[in-house]
Chain A
Amino acid sequence: MSERVLFRGARIVDPVAGRDEVADVSVVDGRIDQVGPGIEAAEAEVLDCAGLVLTPGLVDLHTHLREPGFEYKETIASGTRAAAAGGFTAVSSMANTDPVTDHAGIVAEIRDKAAEAGAADVFPVGAITKGLAGESMAELGEMVEAGVRVFSDDGNCVPTARMLRNALVYAKAFPAEVVIADHCEDASLVEGGHMHEGVQSSSMGLAGRPAEAEEIVVARDLAIARATGGRIHICHVSSARSVELLRRAKRDGVRVTAEVTPHHLVFTDDDLVGYDTNFKVHPPLRTAEDREALRGAVADGTIDVIATDHAPHAVEEKESEFDLSPPGTIGLETALAAVLTHLVAPGIVELPRAIEAMSAMPARILGATGHGGSIDAGAPANLTAFDPSETWVVQAPFVSKARNSAFLGRELTGRVRHTMLRGALTVADGKVRG
């Protein structure tokens, strides 16, 4: 017997097809069957979607799932369940695992575990350098054959211009578009630093990570991409001047994409005054001026993608002294609501553009086939339905194993109700299944 699900009366926002209208969507055997008004409900599980927004399933370009190696922080199972809870049908998995995701064996292991868990598809990101050591290139070809499309030493900046140049050039060998993604912070300027360098870091007595540490690496990477024709992606942009560099490079035709996190779009270094370690992130939260530039860059497409940089840590690691705490905030379960509350509701970013930045764009970069596409008959049924008007307060526990959220205690408007992965509901009525 075939599995049928009917989304009844949702506002369909499909940035790829340019559709924004109220309609029904029926799903049969994992694929979208019909889209339109008044679809027959025969033998279908009917989800009343009046007042809800239905979009392509969200895709996260920047997720730390921590497995293998750091299962006490998060596992593939718990991380993908958190993803589903946040409306994601696909996530990446950053390479800073232990062992490092720098060869095909680990890629396969992560994929297998994700398939077994079944809450979201996982597209592993491979390391650019062996062991993330920045010294010798990992075997990119083997990982490309295993399906990897994005390479990053995230957490570390690619340390030398030569290494980055060679990776960008070497990646041209492959028929698929392979993306070299960089965490842009000059190590010599951020060594020992814990927050944005400015008035706030000075009064808090914390060594800073200056904005120029990011900007000089963004400029370096763009110069090399321009010269080589390589395909570069700038991770978690945090500074207004980086945005300017990107804007100019894009105008000049450099093959570059960029992402920003919800926390950089919402918070500033003023939020650190209480030494709350959940606001300790790399790159750091900067000034209101930087935040405004980042918001504008999402609106005009200079920044292509909103990605979470979901970085789970154990409670005891984050309940430590500020300088000793590891950097990172979780983000999968709050990303959509944060974007709706702080970018869409105030009219800074149109809803279709926000959804595009969280589904179609990251899916394209990640090579996540079947995700982030148009809501059309025949397409894989990867869908997210959310209530744009439900207001809630972010509280622990989370679906994630971790609770280090910068959004703890914050009121957000917009909540995921249903998430569907290839026709199966991973979240139904706000509850994660399985």
Chain B
Amino acid sequence: MNRHVLSMHDLTADDVIRVLDTAESFREVGTRVIKKVPALRGRTVVNFFLENSTRTRISFELAAKRLSADVINFAAGGSSVAKGESLKDTALTLQAMGADAIVIRHSSSGSPLQLTKWVEGHVINAGDGTHEHPTQALLDLYTMRERLGRLEGLRVAIVGDVLHSRVARSLCIGLVTMGAEVTLIGPPTLIPPDAPTWGVQVSYDLDAVIPKLDVCYMLRVQRERQRLEYFPSVREYNRLFGLTGARAGVLPEGSLIMHPGPMNRGVEIDSDVADLPQAVIEEQVTNGIAVRMSLLYLLLGGAADRVDDADV
């Protein structure tokens, strides 16, 4: 596997399968009374979060702690530059702390890659700007595979603000790598013009696509985008691209409704729909811990091809 996980492009199909298989072993750890294994005892994981994110940071923190790693949370409200320190200086500080792995969340696209130039530890991208969010993609793939038994050939729609979504970018790459059939749906202003070159379909008609889906993946839509004239109103957005109760009723039996959170109930997803049994949104969160344990373990745990029984 690659030394760093910055993009879903860094993972081959075999890598993805390995991460998901390993996550399955760790999933069980989370159901125990004592949710902890000694796999990464003595290793240091730094959560370097320069953008507010409670859920992803807690997920990584729990993952590292359940592997017995020492965890440092290095958070700041703004960017390093806002504090008068360059990204490089901040990186060198983390390096001096002896971080074995740095989990970085940053509002600037590309900052995880920049970080790799200045630190020796493994770098994991926990979301960078509008670029990528590979661990979210991995936990989504895990959830789909667990619920539907496969990834190849799955018909997945990713609906909403694809243009500004790091989740959509990473998930697209991951799904295409695993042989799924992806359709991007949203207002044309929020679909990247080069999307057809990603190996996916593009549609502006949610109603036409929805009866054939295995997974309907809804993206968060920021109200800010309306101000910038990407769409005329939240009302019209919901009418054309929201997952309403009526649309959810057309989804095939056994299909999944997913969302990376946090949800805008009433905008991209109606409140009742978010609480339907096929909406696996909380399950995605739970699986996130196991997937992040798996990734940390595979990156830091050495060359072992399988999780040792002793570790689990």
Contacts and interface: CB of A to CB of B under 8 A. Distances in A.
B25 interface: no
Contacts of A199: 194, 197
Nearest to A277: B114
B129 A206 contact: yes
A321 B197 contact: no
A320 B110 contact: no
A123 B80 CA distance: 38
Interface string B127-169: 0111110000000000000000000000000000000001001
B110 A275 contact: yes
A199 B193 CA distance: 8
B79 A321 contact: yes
A202 B129 contact: no
Contacts of A205: 109-110, 128-132, 166, 169
Given A205-B110, A206-B109, A319 B194 contact: no
Interface string B186-199: 00000011110100
Contacts of B89: 316
A419 B284 CA distance: 67
Interface in A198-212: 198-199, 202-207
Interface string B102-132: 0000101111011000000000000011111
B81 interface: yes
Label chain A's interface by main secondary structure: loop
A256 B77 CA distance: 49
B307 interface: no
B86 interface: yes
Contacts of B86: 316, 319-320
Interface string B70-88: 0000000001110000111
A322 interface: yes
B111 A321 contact: yes
A140 to B, nearest CB: 36
Interface residues of A, number: 17
A78 to B, nearest CB: 21
B8 to A, nearest CB: 11
B197 A319 contact: no
B88 A323 contact: no
A205 B106 CA distance: 13
A324 interface: yes
Contacts of A319: 86-88
A18 interface: no
Nearest to A322: B110
Contacts of A275: 109-111, 113-114
A274 interface: yes
The 6 closest A-B pairs by CB, nearest first: A205-B131, A275-B110, A321-B108, A205-B109, A319-B88, A205-B130
Most buried by B among A198, A206, A275, A321: A321
A323 B194 contact: no
B220 to A, nearest CB: 16
Most buried by A among B87, B89, B197: B87
Most buried by B among A199, A274, A323: A323
Contacts of A207: 130
B96 to A, nearest CB: 17
A400 to B, nearest CB: 19
A321 B88 CA distance: 9
A199 B198 CA distance: 10
Contacts of B197: 199
Contact of B109 (A198, A204, A316, A320): A204
Interface in A268-325: 274-275, 316, 319-324
Interface string A233-273: 00000000000000000000000000000000000000000
Nearest to A314: B86
B131 A323 contact: no
A321 B110 contact: yes
Contacts of B130: 205-207
A308 to B, nearest CB: 25
Given A320-B86, A320-B87, A204 B81 contact: no
B194 A324 contact: no
A207 B131 CA distance: 10
20 contacts: A198-B194, A202-B192, A204-B109, A205-B130, A205-B131, A206-B110, A206-B130, A275-B109, A275-B111, A319-B87, A319-B88, A320-B81, A321-B79, A321-B81, A321-B87, A321-B106, A321-B108, A321-B110, A323-B108, A324-B81
Contacts of B193: 202
Most buried by B among A205, A316, A319, A323: A205
Given A199-B194, A205-B131, A205-B132, A323 B87 contact: no
Interface string B38-49: 000000000000
B288 to A, nearest CB: 21
A324 B110 CA distance: 11
B115 to A, nearest CB: 10
Interface in A177-205: 198-199, 202-205
Contacts of A322: 108-111, 114
Nearest to B7: A203
Contacts of B114: 275, 321-322
B224 to A, nearest CB: 12
Contact of A204 (B87, B88, B131): B131
Most buried by A among B79, B108, B194, B195: B108
Contacts of A203: 169, 194
A322 B108 CA distance: 7
Nearest to B9: A203
Given A207-B130, A322-B114, 17 more contacts: A199-B197, A202-B192, A202-B193, A202-B194, A204-B131, A205-B110, A205-B129, A275-B109, A275-B111, A275-B113, A316-B86, A316-B88, A316-B89, A320-B81, A321-B106, A322-B108, A323-B108
Nearest to A192: B228
Nearest to B195: A202
